[in-house]
Amino acid sequence: MIVVCGEALIDLVPAPEGMYRARPGGSPANVAVGLGRLGVDVSLLARIADDAFGRLMREHLVKSRVALDAALVASEPSTLAVVSLDQSGKAEYAFYVEGSADGAWRIEELPAELPPLATLHVSGSLALGLPGMGDALEALLTREKGGRTLTFDPNTRPQLARDEAELRARLQRWISLVDVVKVSSDDLAWVAPGEPIAEVATRWRSLGPSLVVVTRGEDGVYALGPSGPVDLPGHRITVIDTVGAGDAFMAGLLAALDSADSLAPDRLAVLDTTGLERALAFAQAVAAETCRRVGADPPWREELTAEAGGDLREGLTTPG
């Protein structure tokens, strides 16, 4: 099982005639949905509002085979993200968090324990910049370190930070706690401007993770694992938009590693180049399919072509 922790918010996506369409989103929720649709046993630990948007979110998650046993019912309204798209379909976000479900995270609300042997995935998209949410997720990561595999996507949102120095310090601490880090080249341009990707990956891996993965959009993906670096080219596709593409990649990567029984810390520590290449290629295929769709709408396992998923698609498990 994989437990995904973080926000479950509503994306307001541009629609014709200046209107907006409400779509369930948020990086952790997107990753959970992607995993559920790929047939992975997944649970979401989130604060979901008891309002119309919250009910839309819960329905979306349940339909995508995401368990909500760990999800909290928040009395605050749903968190909102207003999406804008440039001419290439690349997304930018404006967040409305103050007074929302994700603005009210508290350490004492965390579950006393997680399912045994479950992997824990966290996103930093809101948590790195929001003190209350960040404190709660950091407490969870610190508590669970050494007891299970921990994975992390910084997905940084500097515009949310009240204290940029603290955001950077928190990012550094979280990297040192986890086993896998997946980061975008856009994030690295802010975190380490002008520094070569390979150098950042090497430095981050020295802090503790077994695997550091850097996605570069149409330029492919670079990863540094126990057996050295892997560099794969990008997919040439017609992009509708990139909303949720990084989250789809994360879901594909976790699903592939889980399918290969490579997510346990001791297995990650000896992951070979062949296994890493295969997992990255599958993650790219999942992300590419998401970019062909409007909004964060990751594919179901059955929708992936044999060329995209290869034999791995057939090897993914289906929840009972």
| Single-letter amino acid code for the residue at 260 | A
95 found inside a domain: yes
In the three-class reduction of DSSP (H, G, I as helix; E, B as strand; rest coil), residue 213 is classed as strand
pLDDT, position 244:
81
Mean pLDDT of 151-179: 92
Rounded to whole angstroms, the Cα distance separating 206 from 209 reads 7
Rounded to whole angstroms, the Cα distance separating 23 from 7 reads 14
pLDDT above 50 (res 60) = yes
pLDDT, position 316:
54
In the three-class reduction of DSSP (H, G, I as helix; E, B as strand; rest coil), residue 11 is classed as strand
pLDDT above 80 (res 91) = no
pLDDT, position 112:
96
pLDDT, position 319:
43
Among the listed ranges 21-25, 86-90, 92-96, 281-285, which one has the minimum average pLDDT value? Answer: 86-90
pTM of the model: 0.92
Residue predicted with more confidence, 48 or 82:
48
| CB distance 61 to 81 below 8 Å | no
pLDDT category of residue 306 using cuts at 50, 70 and 90: low
Rounded to whole angstroms, the Cα distance separating 307 from 210 reads 29
132 found inside a domain: yes
Burial 262-292 (b: 16+ CB within 10 A, else e): bbeeeebeebeeebbebbbbbbbbbbbbbbe
Domain count, the chain: 1
In the three-class reduction of DSSP (H, G, I as helix; E, B as strand; rest coil), residue 233 is classed as coil
302 found inside a domain: yes
Rounded to whole angstroms, the Cα distance separating 214 from 222 reads 5
186 found inside a domain: yes
320 found inside a domain: no
Place of tokens 């990751």: 298
| CB distance 104 to 131 below 8 Å | no
In the three-class reduction of DSSP (H, G, I as helix; E, B as strand; rest coil), residue 163 is classed as coil
Q: Hey, what long-range contacts does 268-273 have (CB within 8 A, 24 or more apart)?
A: 268/149, 268/179, 268/180, 268/210, 268/211, 268/226, 269/210, 269/226, 270/226, 271/210, 271/211, 271/225, 271/226, 271/227, 272/226, 272/227, 273/225, 273/227, 273/228, 273/230
pLDDT, position 317:
47
23 found inside a domain: yes
Cβ burial, residue 97 (10 Å; 0-12/13-18/19+): buried
Rounded to whole angstroms, the Cα distance separating 223 from 212 reads 6
pLDDT, position 120:
98
State the helix-helix crossing angle for 273-291 and 306-315, rounded to 10 degrees: 120
User: Could you tell me the maximum CA-CA distance found in the chain, to the nearest angstrom?
Assistant: 53
Cβ burial, residue 81 (10 Å; 0-12/13-18/19+): buried
CATH number reported for the structural domain that contains residue 38 in this entry: 3.40.1190.20
pLDDT, position 305:
66
pLDDT category of residue 168 using cuts at 50, 70 and 90: very high
250 found inside a domain: yes
Q: Domain containing 131: what range?
A: 2-315
pLDDT category of residue 318 using cuts at 50, 70 and 90: very low
Q: Kindly report the CA angle at 233 between 243 and 183, in degrees rounded to 5?
A: 50
